[in-house]
Structure 1
């Protein structure tokens, strides 16, 4: 195929370079731009995502410097750098930091790859990772250059080779999907995360769906269910469009242990728990959901009784009808009566001249959930009993009863036997409400469910707050598992919301972020854990010494990574982790 003589070498690979640039931007959470030796924009993201093929007429002083000197350029204080002097955009420039790296083909500079920050947070990311980002971009640029030099006599088929090489050299798991959402390729980290061989990936049907369906556009990693044939895995990642393909970029921080999502009933997506007691509870709910009989849910405060009530409703034949919930303990007795039964015009002083429909009537054909039913007064208990017996409701001030068809689901954390014995609750009403009893276990009795709930609440709260999904350290998870949770699931949800707010962007939730009272938590098998930590520390020391020795002995980072048998990006992260020297030889 003859190539346009007017196009630069980089422009001839523009679709591939654009996809790479978009991917690079998503991974590093910085905007990126690529220009060729003639200052023609090849690719870019954010403000630089248009006018491809056009020559820059402003903001080109730093690019010219890099092209002429063949040296990288870092600017972490925009508008104060000498190269910014005389720039026509200096007064209106929104860039807070810049990192530009030359793309070298033998002795020629054929273009520049740059990372740009527009916020203080992004500026700090560049400032703290200058050498790390520079080394990584230089390594990837050489892969591009190799393909550029080899592509003069090749057809466009070679473009996929470039793209595959770029992805394969990433330490982050990546799946490539075509326009029909079929997985075409996965790099080795992705295969490791999914516990699947490359050959099997090409054979099985792969489907990726978000764990929670939201109609928002929040960026960042979120939880997804990846179906691999009949097997399902929970993976943290994000989608990114790239010229007719979609990239699924997996987060470095995956859940501490992979677990299959085997629940066959999607209606239970809000009832999180796989321990024996919760499985038995789900089975019971499935069996009684379609019955019209009353249900009484008993459980400690914060165990999630309304979630169970909603599950009963959602699985019933009434699921398309109203679900009305009211907390009997939160409303004064006089107001609770008018809320439940409603009233007619002029029923009492201060009543609305239009009257009011009560919640019992509003729930007609549906489900009425009475939370904390044990706090209802004896007077209202008698009126509620009449509703259940007669299947009709009498609004306050009315002489006409209104027929109703409702299912009552109630909940309490009180001991009804004691309340009935002390004449605080009507025994006849209790038997009407307790036709189908459900006991919701406290969180401390739900072995193995804490981690599932942690992942669930991380997904919920990161979406609500609008931040990326963080990892959680194994020691922190061990503390959460060992805690006794007096406030049950509600306490766990509140804690995760707090942690999502305080964890630095991109970091893991570690034990130092947990509230002080977790320091007293005794982790099971503590002796074994201490020995394991000591062993891990000694292995880390050995790894640090081995990497440092290889860096001092070999000429470049790629040779070091090859000798150690790790990816180049992994090497960079370990260099940063151990605080090793990153000066070039």
Structure 2
């Protein structure tokens, strides 16, 4: 009717309507040449340009030299003092440009009338929807979880403050870059509940745990409360040698500092600590941080191999050294670790005979394979580990004192898990992430009550026990659910929040519910096992769970 082309963009500079050349890229965000639209949205004022290449607002436009527009007229669409978009008329030849130039006020009045019609429609939609959009916006912005709102084309329309914090991005940056969200593991849409996603933000990537919810033509990406501390970058940078050492307690920070100081030394290191504290993990970290990191790291458990076999494994043998020997002989682990690191786990279980031979290797820096008359020079660093008391073993003539001093040049003591204040929760989240990936299931949440129970436990098996427990929990938790206190094994005791006064069941004033609670509590105190309690009471375990929650009991 006006013999002009028209274009409509929303407040995020996404083209939602257009004629002529603007009808080909609907739903796409405008590029850097949208200076006029930005001006109108920011100032909330109409703008007319009748000489596009000479108007100051067009200076610096990336499309300045190739612009085909001869004139432009844009009007803001205002709703409750907010600019929700722009309606514009555009000319592409001199005749159309003159039409805009000669009818500026007429066109402004007409387009303002059109924009008011849009406002009326939006207001009616809000009224008919009982202001649900505003309610949902306030709800999303005040949620404790991070939320991204996407349209049906996977464009991000909004991110609440929690989501922006997780993604380490500002709201203005989010509006300017392309965002893509893809599941980390292929699963044919069979998984329900939170799972790991790769969120691509321009050139950067983040690993985020969350799930999609489809509502009408919108998608909500609801992020889990805990996010693994993992970022994916385009650069293939080597991992830190301490990347597998999880812990920020004072003892762990001191230990990491000490390792950084001694790792590059060729001196022997003896790692002591309880079973399951992660001695081999620390030995590998020392090797990776040393000057030998490009060479072999050879590990052997001295307690897991019989004495005769351990000797041939360590020192190797030549052809015909003994019955059953390989015809070509075998290179021992000491030689295999030449120029690298040899890790001897459970060194306290090595026989006295082998201790003497190992001492000779350390003193002479050469190894003689079984059945050979010639020694081979070796350049190795020895890291050994034990959970035994060497002072008692030396006193009982079970370990050579001279070998002990050779091995214990640099002593490292690994604290037990119960001594590492604040590290249990970090390790729980680390193992949740690792085991859920290994199993191929979605990343589960975990309740604060479970964390408190794990913190209160004494962990006789240390980190190995914690890892096994988390793997068990990841296997049994229903997909999409949180790990609840009821899933913990029965040996985890949760303290009661308050003490309940004893009531006699024979009291006539006691209700049936109170009698039931007392009976259950008595069974728990005697048996301490949910299955046994349920069996004694003659009810199913699921029924027992409901009653435990009802009476706020734990078992």
- Please indicate the TM-score interval, normalised by the length of the shorter structure: 0.5 to 0.7
Return the offset for 1:376. 0.1
Distance 1:501 1:515 in 2: 13
Q: Does 2:464 match 1:486?
A: no
Q: Does 2:393 match 1:427?
A: no
Change in 2 beyond 3 A, CA 1:399/1:201: same
Q: Which has the higher helix share?
A: 1
Please name the residue that 1:333 is paired with: 307
**Map of 1:569-584 to 2, 5 A cutoff?**
none
Return the offset for 1:458. 0.4
Q: Does 2:159 match 1:187?
A: yes
Distance 2:177 2:348 in 1: 51
**Map of 1:215-230 to 2, 5 A cutoff?**
none
Return the offset for 1:354. 1.1
**Map of 1:30-41 to 2, 5 A cutoff?**
none
Distance 2:375 2:315 in 1: 11
Q: Is the 8 A contact 2:268 2:407 kept in 1?
A: yes
**Map of 1:80-229 to 2, 5 A cutoff?**
173-174=146-147, 187-188=159-160, 190-191=162-163, 194=166, 198=170
Please name the residue that 1:374 is paired with: 348
Q: Is the 8 A contact 2:156 2:179 kept in 1?
A: no
Deviations 1:336-356 (A, max 9, x none): 000000000000011111101
Return the offset for 1:253. 3.8
Q: Is the 8 A contact 1:296 1:409 kept in 2?
A: yes
Please name the residue that 1:513 is paired with: 487
Q: Is the 8 A contact 1:340 1:359 kept in 2?
A: yes
Please name the residue that 1:384 is paired with: 358
SS at match of 1:267: coil
Please name the residue that 1:443 is paired with: 417
Q: Is the 8 A contact 1:174 1:250 kept in 2?
A: yes
Please name the residue that 2:439 is paired with: 465
Q: Is the 8 A contact 2:148 2:160 kept in 1?
A: no
Return the offset for 1:314. 0.8
**Map of 1:260-339 to 2, 5 A cutoff?**
266-339=240-313
Distance 2:187 2:255 in 1: 34
SS at match of 1:269: coil
Higher relative contact order (CA 8 A, sep 6+): 1
Return the offset for 1:187. 1.0
Q: Is the 8 A contact 1:222 1:459 kept in 2?
A: no
Q: Is the 8 A contact 1:289 1:316 kept in 2?
A: yes
Distance 1:285 1:226 in 2: 35
Distance 1:206 1:388 in 2: 60
Distance 1:406 1:206 in 2: 52
Distance 1:278 1:406 in 2: 27
Distance 2:441 2:199 in 1: 22
Change in 2 beyond 3 A, CA 1:194/1:206: farther
1:348 to 300, 303, 322: 322
Q: Give the number of aligned pairs.
A: 355
Distance 1:430 1:285 in 2: 20
Q: Is the 8 A contact 2:321 2:371 kept in 1?
A: yes
Deviations 1:355-397 (A, max 9, x none): 0110110111111100000000000000000001111110000
Q: Is the 8 A contact 2:185 2:440 kept in 1?
A: no
Please name the residue that 2:224 is paired with: 252
2:426 to 435, 449, 452: 452
Distance 2:294 2:222 in 1: 37
Change in 2 beyond 3 A, CA 1:313/1:184: farther
1:395 to 332, 357, 369: 369
Return the offset for 1:319. 0.9
Q: Does 2:192 match 1:236?
A: no
Return the offset for 1:252. 3.2
Unaligned 5+ segments in structure 1 are 4-8, 18-145, 151-163, 178-182, 241-246, 529-585
SS at match of 1:420: helix
Distance 2:176 2:459 in 1: 41
Deviations 1:422-452 (A, max 9, x none): 1000000000000000000000000100000
SS at match of 1:296: strand
Distance 1:333 1:386 in 2: 18
Q: Does 2:380 match 1:406?
A: yes
SS at match of 2:300: strand
Change in 2 beyond 3 A, CA 1:16/1:473: farther
Change in 2 beyond 3 A, CA 1:441/1:250: farther
Distance 1:428 1:208 in 2: 62
Change in 2 beyond 3 A, CA 1:372/1:482: same
**Map of 1:25-64 to 2, 5 A cutoff?**
none
1:363 to 326, 329, 337: 337
SS at match of 2:312: helix
Distance 2:270 2:180 in 1: 38
Q: Is the 8 A contact 1:392 1:402 kept in 2?
A: yes
SS at match of 2:382: strand
Report the TM-score, using the length of structure 1 for normalisation: 0.53
Deviations 1:275-330 (A, max 9, x none): 00000000001111111100000000001000000100011111111111100000
1:495 to 469, 486, 494: 469
Report the TM-score, using the length of structure 2 for normalisation: 0.55
Distance 2:481 2:284 in 1: 35
Please name the residue that 1:111 is paired with: none
